[in-house]
Amino acid sequence: MKEHLKKLYEKNKRHWEVWVWLWMQSDNKNSTIFTYRVICARFNIPKSSFARMLNAYELWNDDKIIVEFEKLEKRRYKVTFYPNGKKLSKHKDTSLEDGLFDYVKEQYTIQEYDYPNINKHRVYIKRILIQIEKAMKVRGTEINSETKADTFKMFFKSIPQWWVENSYSLTSINKNFATIINQIKTNGKANHFNKAIRETNDADYSDIAKK
């Protein structure tokens, strides 16, 4: 947990302050229950930033579960910390990620892109998908396997040609996600991509693009 908080501190100190406070407020089961009003008032965070702040936990839960998040009744939220990490379920459904991995491999073949390390970089499918899902959550878009898959595919298909020719690996796409989204919105593929966004309940990527 300590290492995850260090990384958050380097990325966003305001969000780090909130997560440290949540950690310090946790009970003997490492759980904390709170409302968005308490967080927004205490740390002077606008409601529009609240969801982005909470979604930091999704990037931590990679090989192990570090934080679990639950939305309760009466606009309350609960987070539970696992300082040493909790093993992921062995029966986790990976069919969506598997399908998207097959899709991107096909796209690399179409582009005649030589990618010998693609199998080692499969984990970045999940990380890119998390960033896409985060934008959909902020907008309040309905999220299910179909809408996530459709939005992911349209994003990948709309990647500007410069990236295809110069920096097309999954690691680069994940790292430069915000920049790529901005370019998609301003180049000739924007209308095509925006149409897909409307078809998934007007998903908005502007909040990620501002990071």
Record the pTM: 0.50
CA distances in angstroms from 12 to 7, 16, 36, 154, 174, listed in the order given: 9, 6, 19, 29, 18
Neighbours of 138 (CB within 10 A): 20
**How much is the pLDDT for 141?**
73
Among 209, 50, 46, 60, CA closest to 137: 50
CB within 8 Å of 182: residues ≥ 6 apart: 209
For the chain, 211 residues long, give each residue's pLDDT as a single digit of tens: 777 788 788 888 888 888 899 989 999 999 999 988 888 888 888 877 787 777 777 777 777 788 888 888 877 889 899 888 887 665 567 889 999 999 999 999 998 999 999 999 999 999 999 988 887 777 677 788 888 999 899 999 999 999 999 999 999 999 999 899 888 878 754 444 444 444 433 444 444 443 3
Helix ranges, the chain (H): 2-11, 13-24, 36-43, 47-54, 56-60, 95-110, 123-139, 145-157, 161-166, 170-175, 177-186, 190-199, 206-209
Asked if residues 68 and 82 have their Cβ atoms less than 8 Å apart, the reply is yes
3-class DSSP assignment, residue 38: helix
Ramachandran region, residue 74 (left: φ > 0; alpha: ψ -120 to 50; beta: rest): left
**How much is the pLDDT for 198?**
44
Any idea where the domains of the chain sit in the sequence? 2-87, 95-209
The CATH architecture assigned to 2-87 reads Orthogonal Bundle (1.10)
